[in-house]
Structure 1
Amino acid sequence: MAYPSIYLASTTEELFRRIDQLNPESQALWGKMSVDQMLSHCAVPYEQILGINTDRPPLYMRIILKAYKDSMVNEVPYKQNLPTSPTFIRADSYHFSKVRDRLKELIKTIQEMGAEQLSNTPSLSLGKLSAIEWNNLLYKHIDHHLAQFGV
C-alpha cells in the first residue's frame, strides 16, 4: 500500500491534525520516549535535510543502516521498539508547544521543497534517495511515532 504523499498540502494538513491531538500529558503506547522527546526525535530527519542538524551516525551505524535501507524506505510499517540510531536519541526534556510547532514548521518546509529538490538532497545516513524513498522514509517514520502516541 502506498503511503500518502508528503509533497501534498493535504498530507501535511492531516499530519498537523494528528500532531495537534497530542498534549504534554500524552502517553506512549510503547517505547521509552516522552511526547516532547518524540516530537524532537521526529524533527531530526527534517533538520538533517535542511542542513540544520549535520550530525551523521557513526560509520558502523551508517553501514548497518545502509544494510537495512530497503526496509526503511519500503511501504511496510516499522515494528514497535526497533533500536534508534544514536543521532536520533533524545534524552532531554523539551518545551512541548515549541517542539510541536517546530516539527510542524519543518514538515511544511519539506512539503514545499517538493519531490525534485528533496530527491537531490542526500540522506546523511542512507545517501541518495529517490523522491518515493524520501516520501516513504519520512511519512513512515512520523506515522510510526504518532501511532506510538495513539494519534
Structure 2
Amino acid sequence: MKSIFEESGYNEIKTRIVTLNKDSESQWGKMNIGQMAWHCQGPFNIMLEKEDYKLKPNWLAKVFFKKSLYNDKPWKKGLPTARVLKTKESKDFNTEISKLKPLINESYALKDKTEWTPHPAFGYFTAQQWGQMQYKHLDHHLKQFGA
C-alpha cells in the first residue's frame, strides 16, 4: 500500500492534485470539487491535531472498518462519509485546495514521526497505517474527480 509518508506516494498525490480545477466533475457521489477539497482536509486535521471534530470512539467501526482504511483493497464508490466531514454548503475549490496542500506537505514533513495521538473514533494507528490511510483517502477522492 502506498503512503503519504513515502516520497513516491507524496509526489504522486501532489502531481494528481494539480490536474484538478474548479470545473472538475465528480464521477460518482454527491460532493462537488470544492466540497471534496474541504472534506479531504479533515483526516489531516485529525492526524495533525489541528481540529477537534467531536468524533467518539466507535467499536463497530474499529471492528468492521478500521483495517479497510489502510489495506490495499480500493474503497467502493459512494461509501458513506462521517457526518462531521460532510458539508452541504458550497465551497470554493481554490480556497479549499489552498488549505489542503499545506496539510499534505506538513504531514509529509512528519514522515519520520513514530508516536501519534490515537484517532478519536478508530483508536491507535501505527505511523505506517496513518500514512497509508491518508494516501488511500486522497487517492479515492482524486479518482472520484478523474485525477
Contact 1:75-1:136 within 8 A present in 2 as well: no
Partner Cα distance (1:89, 1:26) in 2: 19
- 1:142 equivalent to 2:113? Answer no
| Alignment partner of 1:107 is 2:94 | no
Q: CA deviation at 1:65?
A: 1.8
Alpha-carbon deviation of 1:98?
1.5
Structure 2: gaps (5+ residues):
none
Take 2:116 and 2:50, find their aligned partners in 1: how far apart are those partners? 17
Structure with bigger helix share is: 1
The number of residues matched between the two structures is 146
Q: TM-score, normalised by structure 1?
A: 0.88
Q: What percentage of residue pairs aligned between the two structures are identical?
A: 34
Matches within 5 A, 1:1-151: 2-3=1-2, 5-58=3-56, 62-67=58-63, 68-117=65-114, 119-151=115-147
What's the RMSD between the two structures over aligned residues? 1.6
- 1: CA distance, partners of 2:112 / 2:137: 17
- Tell me the distance in 2 between the aligned counterparts of 1:46 and 1:52: 8
> 1:71 offset after TM fit, Å?
1.7
Question: Any conservation in 1 of the 2:56–2:120 contact (CA below 8 Å)?
Answer: no
Deviations 1:56-108 (A, max 9, x none): 3355xx23321211122212111111111112112211221111111110000
- TM-score, normalised via structure 2 length: 0.90
Relative to 1, partners in 2 of residues 1:8 and 1:72: Cα closer, same or farther, differing over 3 Å? closer
Which segment drifts farther, 122-131 or 138-147?
A: 122-131
In structure 1, stretches of 5+ residues that fail to align are none
Is the contact made by 1:57 and 1:86 (CA closer than 8 Å) also made in structure 2? no
- Counterpart CA distance in 1 for 2:28 and 2:81 is 14
Task: Identify which range, 104-113 or 9-18, moves more after superposition.
Answer: 9-18
